[in-house]
Amino acid sequence: MNEQTNNLISLEAEVTEDAKEQLDAIGKWSVYSAVIGFTSLGLTIISTVATLNKVSEYGAGMRAGAGLFQTFFITALSLLLNITLYTAGNNIKKGVLNADQGFFNAGLRKLNNYFKILGILLIIVLSIFLLAFVFGGMMSLFR
Amino acid sequence: MSDYNQDQLTQLDVQYDSDAKTSLFNMGKWARFLCWAIFIFSILFVFIFILAATVYRDYLGDVIPFFNEMGTTLFITIGFGIIVALSIYLSAFYFLFNFSTNIKQGLLTEDTPTINTGLKSLKTYFIISTVLSALALLINFFSTML
């Protein structure tokens, strides 16, 4: 791995016109994707608040509280992901259009962070599934 | 324009410097991990669906006679729908996998066309995932309105 990283650092390559076109499109589409993510998040918050209002009318305050906590957690994660993607897309676009190496590198770093966050979230979800599977198996064995 | 000026312009342009390359390389690694996890997860999902459908068809067939006659057709239709939806969703991850393979290979061998192919795949991934997200948003919006 270290050898691979050293190989990367020792090389210097130009960003060709074709690559610039692709990077500009990547920036544009990641901004669109983030905007759709924000809209989706807004819709989720509105529908959750409406549902929680109805639920608390029927006197299920504790359940409503748990639902609110869950929504808050998902909203925070989704917001973090979409802000990262939005910043990445904007910086890549600015970097390519204005030939600004700082913005270009910042954009790529943010896009790397975006995939890293997705990967870590996936690891957490897979671990929860695995734990549920193991505990489910153990429970059925001891029953 | 003289060669000197042309060189100055080239130097002003963005480059794959060590920072950019490290980001792209790590992005490729995480993208590959995501793809493998999604592929394995999808296969497991289909497998669990087939198992659950078989168990529920027999169980529901005892309780509701409708499932004895139409249960298999119903589950096959739902299963077909799931496979079509998964295939569309997985096509995005196929392009992400292509990006990961090409970007790593391109950066290690200093092959510009391979890097460009990788970037093209990443662009296609973002296009497909954005269109799918927009569709999901529309469906969510109309279901909330109803």
d(CA B123, CA B48): 33
In which residue are the tokens 């808050």 written? A72
Contact list in A for residue B17 (CB cut-off 8 A) is: 12, 101, 105
pLDDT, one tens digit per residue, over B46-101 is 888 888 877 777 777 677 766 666 667 777 888 888 889 889 989 999 999 999 99
A111, A30 contact by CB (below 8 A): yes
pLDDT given at position B76: 82
- Cα nearest neighbour of A101 on chain B: B14
Contact list in A for residue B22 (CB cut-off 8 A) is: 5, 8-9
* A108 touches B: beta carbon within 8 Å: yes
Q: What average pLDDT does the segment A120-131 reach? A: 90
Task: Tell me the CA distances in angstroms from A6 to A11, A12, A64, one per residue in order.
Answer: 9, 12, 53
pLDDT given at position A78: 92
Is the pLDDT assigned to residue B41 strictly greater than 50? Answer: yes
3-state secondary structure of B64: coil
d(CA A101, CA B17): 9
pLDDT, one tens digit per residue, over A7-53 is 565 556 778 888 999 999 999 999 999 999 999 999 888 888 888 77
Average pLDDT, chain B: 84
* A43 touches B: beta carbon within 8 Å: yes
Strand partners, B15: A14
pLDDT given at position B115: 93
d(CA A80, CA A47): 20
Whether A100 is in a domain gets the answer: yes
B126 closest CB neighbour out of A15, A29, A108: A29
Whether A99 is in a domain gets the answer: yes
Is the pLDDT assigned to residue A59 strictly greater than 80? Answer: no
Contact list in A for residue B13 (CB cut-off 8 A) is: 14-15, 99
**Residue A33 CB neighbour total at 10 angstroms:** 22
Average pLDDT, chain A: 85
Whether A80 is in a domain gets the answer: yes
pLDDT given at position B9: 43
Whether A5 is in a domain gets the answer: no
Local confidence band at B4 (pLDDT 50, 70, 90 cut-offs): very low
Yes or no, beta carbons of B116 and A18 under 8 Å apart: yes
B5, A90 contact by CB (below 8 A): no
Weakest-pLDDT range from A50-59, A102-111, B44-53, B113-122? A50-59
Whether A76 is in a domain gets the answer: yes
* A4 touches B: beta carbon within 8 Å: yes
A122, B34 contact by CB (below 8 A): yes
Q: Number of folded domains in chain A? A: 1
Q: Encoding tokens for residue B116?
A: 């460009």
Yes or no, beta carbons of A40 and B123 under 8 Å apart: no
Whether A4 is in a domain gets the answer: no
* DSSP H stretches of helix in chain B: 3-12, 18-63, 66-109, 112-145
Q: Encoding tokens for residue B112?
A: 């510009």
A39, B51 contact by CB (below 8 A): no
Interface ipTM? 0.83
Is the pLDDT assigned to residue A110 strictly greater than 50? Answer: yes
Contacts 24+ apart (CB under 8 A), A38-46: A38/A82, A38/A86, A39/B137, A40/A78, A40/B133, A40/B136, A40/B137, A40/B140, A41/A75, A41/A78, A41/A79, A41/A82, A43/B137, A43/B140, A43/B141, A43/B144, A44/A71, A44/A74, A44/A75, A44/B140, A45/A71, A45/A75, A46/B144
pTM of the shown model = 0.83
Yes or no, beta carbons of A126 and B37 under 8 Å apart: yes
Task: Tell me the CA distances in angstroms from A65 to A61, A113, A121, B19, B31, one per residue in order.
Answer: 6, 32, 24, 45, 36
Contact list in B for residue A44 (CB cut-off 8 A) is: 140
Among residues 19-38 of chain A, which lie with CB inside 8 Å of chain B? 19-20, 22-23, 25-26, 29-30, 32-33, 36-37
Q: Which domain holds residue A101?
A: 16-142
Contact list in A for residue B23 (CB cut-off 8 A) is: 105, 108-109, 111-112
Q: Encoding tokens for residue A39?
A: 């809209």
Is the pLDDT assigned to residue B8 strictly greater than 60? Answer: no
pLDDT given at position A63: 61
Contact list in B for residue A32 (CB cut-off 8 A) is: 130
3-state secondary structure of A14: strand
Identify the CA nearest to B37 among candidates A55, A31, A129: A129
